[in-house]
Amino acid sequence: MNKVGIIACGITPFTKNDQKIETILLNSSKNLFLDNPKIEKDDIDAVLISTNNNSKYLSPILSEMIGIQPKIAHTIESLCNSGTNSIVSAYSYIASGLADMVLITGAERYDSPGQILEWDNSRGEFKHPVFWASIFSKSYKREHQVSEEELALVSVKNHMQAKENPNALSNKTYTVEEVMNSKKLTDDLRLLDCSRPCTGGASIVLASEQITKKTTDTPVWITGIGQKTTSASFTKNMSLNSMESTEIAGKNALKMANKNITDIDVAEIHDAFSVCEPMALESLNFSKQGKGIDMIKDLYTTNNFKINPRGGLIGCGHPLGATGIAQTIEITQQLQLNAGKRQVDNVKTGLVHNMSAAATSSTVLVLEK
């Protein structure tokens, strides 16, 4: 397989603005080209769109709006991990030799139809994600004797880190008490335990080894990819306090990159809800089962931004189709030592974890300098 690098990134602020999906796509792509003048638009072989929006033919539309005629142009949708799935598709085009340079743009509106999986009738009338998140939270607390206050620390930490991210939806910090006193959505979930749907876009360009080396002095390579889908319905999750798809995807990504989890210096973790962060940390083997919260406490008290430096989904907001790409941009910037006040020290290898629908599907990427 050909080696694949990341050569350019562009992102919009995450907001609650009412914008057309085409406008979000264009803004994000425009930012990428303006920030990276070495990228020749006409060299783009493929344009992949990541979104859950119901508008059609978005890739040809974006291509026309940015004035290019790519060989390959289509949309990829997989709920919340559409972004990294698009990156994997782009990687495959380049690794196979079908394309040398691919633009991936993710975009979503605050009212995305991807927030609820209508097909999953096994959830009965409880289809909104807050219900599976409540069941996960209750099960995790019960299994590992973790308190609500301890889980609230995830939100405290990630809002604090998002404050250093100019594109994040939130620029406020919160105490554990404030998280605990935020609106109670269920007995096991507060409003500040949740990532919020928002409007935003993120773009990235992947390229072959030859083009990557020619285009950038700070290449970042995708060296590991792992994906696993265990089901579509939430109720097929046999464990309610661990993530099987994440465990498998993580192992495969690390194996492909020939790395161990101890080699990972910085990671973006899919904290759709507070409980997801410790569950994912444990499933990826960053910590032992039930000890994810201890790791989070340690990171918070030492002001260590290793996990979710951009503020996670909870701090940044969650424009579904853009999230996985925004996570990958953050790790790229970290590896390029270009993350400003969020920069983690001595970063050589990073990881992206992006998942869908109560962890029924996960994608894990390993990125290296």
Site residues, another protein (CB under 8 A): 118-127, 131, 134-135, 137-139, 142, 185-189, 233-236, 238, 240
Nearest-approach distance from CB 156 to another protein, in angstroms:
22
Instruction: State how far the Cα of 25 lies from the Cα of 56, in Å rounded to an integer.
Output: 13
Nearer to another protein, 42 or 187 (CB): 187
Nearest-approach distance from CB 237 to another protein, in angstroms:
9
The residue among 7, 95, 92 whose CA lies nearest residue 43 is 7
Nearest-approach distance from CB 309 to another protein, in angstroms:
31
> Phi and psi of 157, rounded to 5°?
-60, -45
Nearest-approach distance from CB 234 to another protein, in angstroms:
8
Nearer to another protein, 14 or 140 (CB): 140
Nearer to another protein, 151 or 284 (CB): 151
CA dihedral (247, 249, 252, 253) positive or negative: negative
Instruction: State how far the Cα of 182 lies from the Cα of 175, in Å rounded to an integer.
Output: 11
Nearer to another protein, 23 or 233 (CB): 233
Nearer to another protein, 1 or 238 (CB): 238
Residue in this structure with the two tokens 């465990």, named with its chain if needed: 247
Whether 331 contacts 342, CB under 8 Å: no
Amino acid at 226: G
Nearer to another protein, 57 or 119 (CB): 119
Nearest-approach distance from CB 145 to another protein, in angstroms:
15
Instruction: State how far the Cα of 173 lies from the Cα of 159, in Å rounded to an integer.
Output: 5
Whether 213 contacts 11, CB under 8 Å: no
Nearest-approach distance from CB 147 to another protein, in angstroms:
16
